[in-house]
Amino acid sequence: PASADAMESAVWEKVRDHPCYSEEAHHYFARMHVAVAPACNIQCNYCNRKYDCANESRPGVVSENVTPDQAVRKVIAVANQVPQLSVLGIAGPGDACYDWNKTKATFGRVAEVIPDLKLCLSTNGLALPDHVAELCDMNVDHVTITINMVDPQVGAKIHPWIFYKHRRYTGIEAARILHERQMLGLEMLTARGILAKINSVMIPGVNDEHLMEVNKWVKARGAFLHNIMPLISNPEHGTHYGLTGQRGPKAMELKALQDRLEGGARLMRHCRQCRADAVGLLGEDRGQEFTLDQISEDV
């Protein structure tokens, strides 16, 4: 787990107030997500579009989708009642870089009212290179990219299609483009000093062994954390798009992989896969106290 002695001081300076990255901070600082970005430009086989994006969130939950204006009202309401609020993230429910105008409008307006709030977002990476310069201008200091493969052969089993430059690509070609864009996006973030965390969804029999290779690639390109998330199969919430019957890893399998990856890019073990509308300290979710119908019109 991340701690002061395990991190370079420059990185530590940026993450010590961030509940997701610092083991210490997660007891004292709160984060919130606003679900302003419903559109997505790729298909993941583990995704069920009716629910939150699995890039960062626990699949099988439906977050309260809000417009940028509503999001700003929510952030102000939460900041007034949760003094520990230090981070605002956009984690879907689709892709924050693809649904860019809403992400940008939300961050821009929030920065005007609460300038010291740290901003972060999560993305599948396909549209990321197009927006790194603006992310830098907006002082976004953390980006999470979900990277499940560095080999298009593996990628084609996880991502059946992408929508890129006005057309749809499928199979190996789609996975190759996605892979190239993810690597480019990561390199651009590193070059600008924006911290990049990598999430990988561990899918037994599909990419579990391969994640060792992913870890090497992302570490070589400057990722400061690599978070292995278990595939969560949720049959009661409907089948996944293309992985019907696929099981998630057992807790022991997850831990064994994390242990093998120690020494690679630093691993994050306390990510809770929070909802796209989560509010509060890590491990608690006060989102239900701050739904739109509960915050007053005049905030």
**Contact positions vs ligand SF4 (CB under 6 A):** 20, 31, 40, 42-44, 47, 53-56, 89, 92, 94-95, 124, 271-274, 282
Closest CA to 208 of 159, 261, 257, 246: 257
**What whole-number distance in Å separates Cα of residue 32 and Cα of residue 72?**
12
Structural tokens at position 73: 């009202």
Give the nearer residue to ligand SF4 in terms of CB position, either 66 or 137: 66
State the nearest-atom distance from the C-beta of 211 to ligand SF4, in Å.
17
Q: For the chain, what percentages of helix, strand and coil (3-state, to nearest 5) are there?
A: 35, 20, 45
State the nearest-atom distance from the C-beta of 240 to ligand SF4, in Å.
10
**What whole-number distance in Å separates Cα of residue 179 and Cα of residue 74?**
35
CB 68 within 8 A of CB 109: yes
Closest CA to 195 of 6, 3, 13: 13
Give the nearer residue to ligand SF4 in terms of CB position, either 208 or 285: 285
Give the nearer residue to ligand SF4 in terms of CB position, either 198 or 282: 282
CB 3 within 8 A of CB 270: no
Q: Residue 222: what are its φ and ψ, rounded to 5°?
A: 95, 10
State the nearest-atom distance from the C-beta of 55 to ligand SF4, in Å.
5
State the nearest-atom distance from the C-beta of 289 to ligand SF4, in Å.
17
Give the nearer residue to ligand SF4 in terms of CB position, either 137 or 288: 288
Give the nearer residue to ligand SF4 in terms of CB position, either 150 or 279: 279
Give the nearer residue to ligand SF4 in terms of CB position, either 43 or 86: 43
CB 154 within 8 A of CB 202: no
State the nearest-atom distance from the C-beta of 107 to ligand SF4, in Å.
16
State the nearest-atom distance from the C-beta of 224 to ligand SF4, in Å.
13
Give the nearer residue to ligand SF4 in terms of CB position, either 65 or 273: 273
CB 214 within 8 A of CB 265: no
State the nearest-atom distance from the C-beta of 297 to ligand SF4, in Å.
28
CA 271 to chain centre: 10
Closest CA to 226 of 174, 178, 262: 262
